[in-house]
Structure 1
């Protein structure tokens, strides 16, 4: 059974403070940047870190984290003891040994987009269930989730290629953005929301989407919403209702974007559909 002091997850918000010293004490600390970017200082050097990075701090060391922009800095801190790493290991894989293959004070790892998204989703789940000790198979659940995180981190260390991303990862991100937009097309979708959803900078998302499609995310969302508007109008929905159902705000905004896209107002399109059906 996992002991209470063998691991913990902490959410660190830099609201009223601009910098913070993080001591690892007896733990291996792993830091994940959920939003914003920061400066990490150790060994008299300073590095810029973003939501694409994973920070590993070995036991009995410390780093200084400082905000690097006006955007709120949110960090998840995962702390693991050497005993826990031994517990999660098996005959084939010694996780503690793997963490110490290369001696380090603080290691900054560039992970691929798929990995960072997966790790952060698992972390959020662990944070939610950490106090639900009576849930079915809670101990086994925590062990499996922690094992997955540790393995993903170590794989990222092995395959880390600083400042580089493969075409596969870029395509994966764009495919995921397409899927998310189409699944939430009736809601308001902003770049900030996509950034929170995918844990990737909104500027990176915008750039990769434009490279892959030739259009901006805003244009694609608008076109997709208008396509849905036409379908609903054809089904006989009222114009004011259509604007609301498609997440386009009020009628005035629907009127403006619909006419710009199709060269006619929603009402004119509705009348044309009625005429066609009556022929």
Structure 2
């Protein structure tokens, strides 16, 4: 399997082939804006870095951290600047994981089992980090006879390992509240998420929290790496994708996800996801 040096190209390959793709990244690729894509993601940090905003949770990134993100969760990596930040990003099509799973073993558990307060980050031990990189190296290096079978078998073993770590973490309860924010920004994010279906403007938020427009924008961008409006839009798109995948009609979805009219919803959704809400609904429920 090819090891990509661009996360965007890996995602495109994953989605177009309904398979999985591996990207090895340092600091060459420009960080994407807050985004959502139609594949699962495993993000493994080799050298540590700055911070990760995933939905309404904000994490510091340490060496050896593994983040598991599903196709409905918006995420954004804060600006890396000139810092060397080695990481491995594995993009996985949901249909591919479904095909690999059995009645006894759902390999998508680490991406889909989300309880309130559970985190996206797994702290891998030194041995687990070595094992993760061993599987990735084997997957991206086999090219002889039977390579496709070895590639798939290694990937399945990797998924089994990650799911076991994830479920052990859930059982221990050690990933609850494994994230943090600036206290003011935490209150702002909490308010946005509790009122995401209501009209929310910067002016309203500033008035609600007794702050100036410029100050609330500045502290939010400083803490999260993105703007308030981009965050609100990404959260609404995330909710809309989830609703469409569950069979809710397009006419109901745009209001339930907080968009004030269909034209705004259509424009924002198509720009973020790449297809119209109707096409996404047809694809998700086919």
TM-score (norm 2): 0.47
- Larger RCO (CA within 8 A; separation ≥ 6): 2
